[in-house]
């Protein structure tokens, strides 16, 4: 059911990660009446990143939480409004875009989608049952609960490697489980994990089941080359096996690829006039804070041009 309150804006941004916050800075500075809708914490996945080393202007690195706070402060400075609500539906009425949350209905002329991604689930037995009881998708959120424990990290990309390195601050021993025989992450992260004395490796392996009683006690692992199955004792399993875009609510509204990523041109324009996409939710080569920021600026400028041409 639609919320009882209806408000009109020139620009609405869905998602408060680096793309959304940057779009907010640009749209607000252009003196466009702008609203940002975020269902959780501003900053998105950036807030759960312990240290960002590759964002220009911070030679010593900056915590994801601090970078999020600075971006939020800057966006608010120029007058952007922010609400914390969950989107339940997006629809189009003539050239207006209608965004419904549980509390309200918002209408806008230009809509910028910056919903990002979420960690993909393994889909194995025990994963759902032990979520928050030994199964985690966020090292900075849960790492401290595993002080002096023995844990596993599943995955071989940047997320798995950076989270594994962070977890070595707490755990006694950590095993990276990867379905291939070589890591996929950035070389500097590979160098760090391969030389860390706390980190071991289980190559060519996939998790088939997560077991325990009230909490996780073991995982069942299969070797993809030999077919051998064995049970591996562990106090926790951190899963980083890829990302899925948060775009389900946009099906039928804009064109997406088979994985649910929004298709755009280089100006961040989608298949629907007046709807733009920025950041990790759109189909692109590189998903980083720097590219999200660039997308956010481009999308906001494209939205501004769209509104000017409508007049």
pLDDT above 90: residue 6: no
pLDDT in tens, 50-80: 788 889 999 999 999 999 999 999 999 999 9
DSSP summary character for residue 76: H
Judge whether 117 and 45 are in contact, CB under 8 Å.
Answer: yes
Q: Which domains does the chain possess?
A: 5-118+243-310 (3.50.50.60), 121-239 (3.50.50.60)
pLDDT, residue 228, reads 96
Judge whether 126 and 117 are in contact, CB under 8 Å.
Answer: no
pLDDT, residue 242, reads 87
pLDDT in tens, 283-296: 999 889 999 999 99
pLDDT above 80: residue 253: yes
Q: What is the pTM of this model?
A: 0.82
**Beta-carbon neighbour count of residue 109 at 10 Å?**
19
Judge whether 167 and 50 are in contact, CB under 8 Å.
Answer: no
- Both tokens assigned to 153: 């990290």
d(CA 67, CA 85): 22
Which residues on neighbouring strands pair with residue 106, listed in sequence order?
Answer: 7, 99
Q: Is the dihedral of CA 23, 29, 30, 36 positive or negative?
A: positive
Average pLDDT over residues 96-118: 95
Q: Identify whether 142 is a catalytic site residue.
A: yes
Judge whether 176 and 199 are in contact, CB under 8 Å.
Answer: yes
pLDDT in tens, 177-220: 999 999 999 999 999 999 999 999 999 999 999 999 999 999 99
Which residues on neighbouring strands pair with residue 12, listed in sequence order?
Answer: 35, 111
pLDDT above 60: residue 84: yes
pLDDT, residue 48, reads 78
pLDDT, residue 104, reads 93
**Beta-carbon neighbour count of residue 189 at 10 Å?**
19
| Catalytic, out of 65, 95, 114, 141 | 141
Q: Identify whether 138 is a catalytic site residue.
A: yes
**What is the length of the chain?**
311
Q: Identify whether 65 is a catalytic site residue.
A: no
| Catalytic, out of 108, 142, 268, 280 | 142
């Amino acid at each position: 059911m639609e919320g009882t309150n209806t408000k009109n804006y020139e620009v609405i941004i869905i998602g408060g990660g680096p793309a959304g916050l940057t779009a907010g800075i640009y749209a607000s500075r252009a003196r466009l009446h702008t609203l940002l809708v975020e269902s959780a914490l501003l900053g998105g996945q950036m807030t759960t990143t312990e240290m960002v080393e590759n964002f220009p202007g911070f030679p010593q690195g900056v915590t994801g939480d601090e970078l999020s706070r600075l971006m939020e402060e800057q966006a608010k400075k120029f007058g952007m409004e922010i609400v914390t609500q969950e989107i339940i539906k997006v629809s189009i009425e003539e050239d207006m875009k209608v965004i419904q949350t549980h509390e309200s209905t918002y209408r806008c002329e230009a809509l910028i989608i910056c919903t990002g991604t979420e960690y993909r689930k393994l889909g194995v037995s025990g994963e759902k049952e032990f979520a928050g009881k030994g199964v985690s998708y966020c090292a900075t959120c849960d790492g401290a609960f595993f002080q002096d424990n023995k844990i596993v990290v599943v995955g071989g990309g940047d997320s798995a490697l950076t989270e594994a390195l962070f977890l070595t601050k707490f755990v006694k021993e950590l095993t990276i489980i990867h379905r291939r025989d070589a890591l996929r992450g950035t070389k500097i992260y590979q160098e760090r994990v391969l030389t860390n004395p706390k980190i071991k490796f289980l190559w060519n392996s996939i998790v088939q089941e997560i077991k325990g009683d009230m909490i996780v006690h073991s995982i069942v692992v299969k070797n993809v080359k030999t077919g051998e199955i064995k049970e591996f004792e562990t106090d926790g399993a951190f899963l980083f096996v890829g990302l899925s875009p948060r775009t389900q609510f946009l099906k039928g509204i804009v064109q997406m690829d088979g994985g649910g990523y929004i298709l755009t041109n280089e100006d961040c324009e989608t298949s629907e006039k007046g709807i733009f996409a920025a950041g990790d939710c759109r189909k692109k080569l590189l998903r980083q804070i720097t590219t999200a920021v660039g997308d956010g600026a481009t999308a906001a400028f494209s939205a501004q041009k769209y509104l000017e041409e409508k007049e």
